[in-house]
Amino acid sequence: MNEEPEVNEKQPDERVAAETVTINQGGANTVTAQTVTVVQGGINSATAESIRVEQGGIARAEGVSIQVDTGGIALARGETVTVNRGGAMVVVAETAHMNEAIVGLAIAGEITGDAQILIDAKSAAIIGAIAGLVIGGMKLLWGRRRGG
């Protein structure tokens, strides 16, 4: 009884829950499964042990293993996130493997491969500290001017 539901473009608002979900040239709103595969399609939100995207996209992916091949994910959160020739806005993982990837923010214990990462965890901490000092300094100066 391992039926594999296939979602197509006629069912974009579906909430799909199954052991294995494969989306080919279609889309779904929310998917919960053990294994999710997207080929030339898209999902708003996916939660699974294993998520694989090929030439497609997912807005929010949460799982143990997430792999993107020539596709994109807005938010990927998992133990291992792999991006091959694709992109991600935010990656949160224990291990992130990036191959010819573009990533906006990467927060990971270990990052390997060749990627263009705009902000990593260390950079975010430095930017936060600098922003805090600047804002704190401005508030001090502003308060002194008002208080005279």
Q: Which of 99, 100, 60, 56 is nearest to 77 (CA)?
A: 60
pLDDT tens for 20-37 read 998 899 888 999 999 999
pLDDT surpasses 60 at 138: yes
CA–CA gap between residue 115 and residue 118 (Å, rounded): 9
Among the listed residues 83, 51, 53, 47, the one whose alpha carbon sits nearest the alpha carbon of residue 65: 51
Token pair belonging to 82: 């792999």
Show me where the domains of the chain are located.
6-120
**pLDDT recorded at residue 6:** 54
Q: Is the pLDDT of residue 16 over 90?
A: no
pLDDT number for residue 13: 56
Q: What is the mean pLDDT of the chain?
A: 85
Q: Are 97 and 109 in contact (CB under 8 A)?
A: no
pLDDT band at 40 (very low <50, low <70, confident <90, very high): very high
Q: Which two tokens stand for residue 8?
A: 């197509």
| C-alpha dist (Å) from residue 41 to 6, 16, 32, 67, 144 | 12, 15, 16, 15, 57
pLDDT in tens, 81-123: 999 999 999 999 999 999 999 888 888 888 898 877 777 777 7
Q: Would you say residue 3 has pLDDT above 60? A: no
**Which H or E run includes 144?**
helix 121-147
User: Is residue 7 scored above 60 in pLDDT?
Assistant: no
Residue predicted with more confidence, 61 or 17: 61
Q: What's the pLDDT band for 1 if we cut at 50, 70, 90?
A: very low
